[in-house]
Amino acid sequence: MKDLIIRDDDISYWTSVEEIDFIYRDLFDKGIKISFAVIPYAAKMYNLGDPHTFYQDENDSKWVGENTKLVKYLKEKIDKGLVEIMLHGYNHLYCFKSMDSGLKIASEKNLDQYRSRNKLVTFIGEYNYQGFNALYSKTKTGKEYLSEIFKVDIKNFVPPSNQIDYNGINAIVKNNLNISGLIGRKYNREFTIRGLITYFDRIFFKIINSKLTYPKIANFGNHKELVGYTLSKKTKKRGYDNQLKYCIKKSFPIQISTHYWEVDNIIFRNLEGIIDMALKNGYQSKLLYEVLK
């Protein structure tokens, strides 16, 4: 399975066509496919990537379909077989733990009060703090909305901030979605024989390869997962390179995950290098749904 998947997160109403086209135009021209993680009803985010100043405005949320220029651009790429649309939460709204151990929305006011006391902020992703019923409903609504807007079947889910608990996983599975990512070490998936086999295979792999991440497609019976290797400014090159070399040696799939708003010249050159290396070793560019069939 020499499959190379490029995943880009946080596409939403707030994304401009110019941002996406600037990064991926040349790759699209070369036939490289991109699986975009799209937020259906995104809360406005400020100071992305800076945990000391980041905040959101829940009252300024927009449906991605209102950005008609972006939808048109992505649909053109979909028609050419170059783009997949994946569900990336509902509104990607963060909470954080307050001083009384309760949860507060990551608004500017709430965070300013907390930060003024020099408290460390721990952000909690949208699918890591809500109940099953709420997450099931949001997942269903978001999936149906994206399917209608982009005229495609939505097959995969990308957990916001790469965080998801049992309620979130259960909501995803009940909506017939696979997961881009392999999150958590404990077994909090559906209880199946296939899932248990996968779980013990993960444990055995980790015993043998303590410094590597489980690279196989994880089949839990009712859904599948595939780890994404985050390419960012914080990526530790040595460990990252070792992981990719191992995957290539064993012909395991490689999924590179990025955020378009973080991609600078250095990250892009690294991405190009990974793509070139994979292609030279017989890998083919794929969309995630083509791999997690």
Residue 240 binned pLDDT confidence (cut-offs 50, 70, 90): very high
- E-strand ranges in the chain read 3-11, 34-38, 41-46, 55-63, 83-87, 95-97, 103-105, 123-124, 156-157, 178-180, 218-219, 224-226, 229-230, 254-259, 284-286
Q: Which domain holds residue 220?
A: 3-41+63-90+132-291
Domain tally, the chain: 1
Token output for 2: 């020499």
The pLDDT, as a whole number, for residue 130 is 96
In a domain, 114, yes or no: no
The CATH number assigned to the domain holding 167 equals: 3.20.20.370
The pLDDT, as a whole number, for residue 62 is 98
Predicted confidence (pLDDT) per residue in 25-75, tens digit = 999 999 999 999 999 999 999 999 999 999 999 999 999 999 999 999 999
In a domain, 32, yes or no: yes
In a domain, 120, yes or no: no
The percent of residues in the chain predicted with pLDDT above 90, rounded, is 91
Q: How far is CA 244 from CA 10, 208, 248, 253, in A?
A: 24, 17, 6, 10
Instruction: Please provide residue 220's backbone torsions phi and psi, each rounded to the nearest 5 degrees.
Output: -100, 10
Alpha-carbon torsion, ordered 115, 120, 125, 127, to 10 deg:
-110
In a domain, 69, yes or no: yes
In a domain, 21, yes or no: yes
In a domain, 50, yes or no: no
Q: Which residue has the tokens 């000391």?
A: 52
In a domain, 266, yes or no: yes
Residue 119 binned pLDDT confidence (cut-offs 50, 70, 90): confident
Residue 76 burial by Cβ neighbours in a 10 Å radius (0-12, 13-18, 19+): exposed
Residue 98 clears pLDDT 90, i.e. is over it: no
The pLDDT, as a whole number, for residue 185 is 79
Token output for 53: 């100043």
Residue 97 clears pLDDT 90, i.e. is over it: no
Q: Which pTM does this prediction carry?
A: 0.96
Residue 184 clears pLDDT 90, i.e. is over it: no
Residue 132 burial by Cβ neighbours in a 10 Å radius (0-12, 13-18, 19+): middle
In a domain, 57, yes or no: no
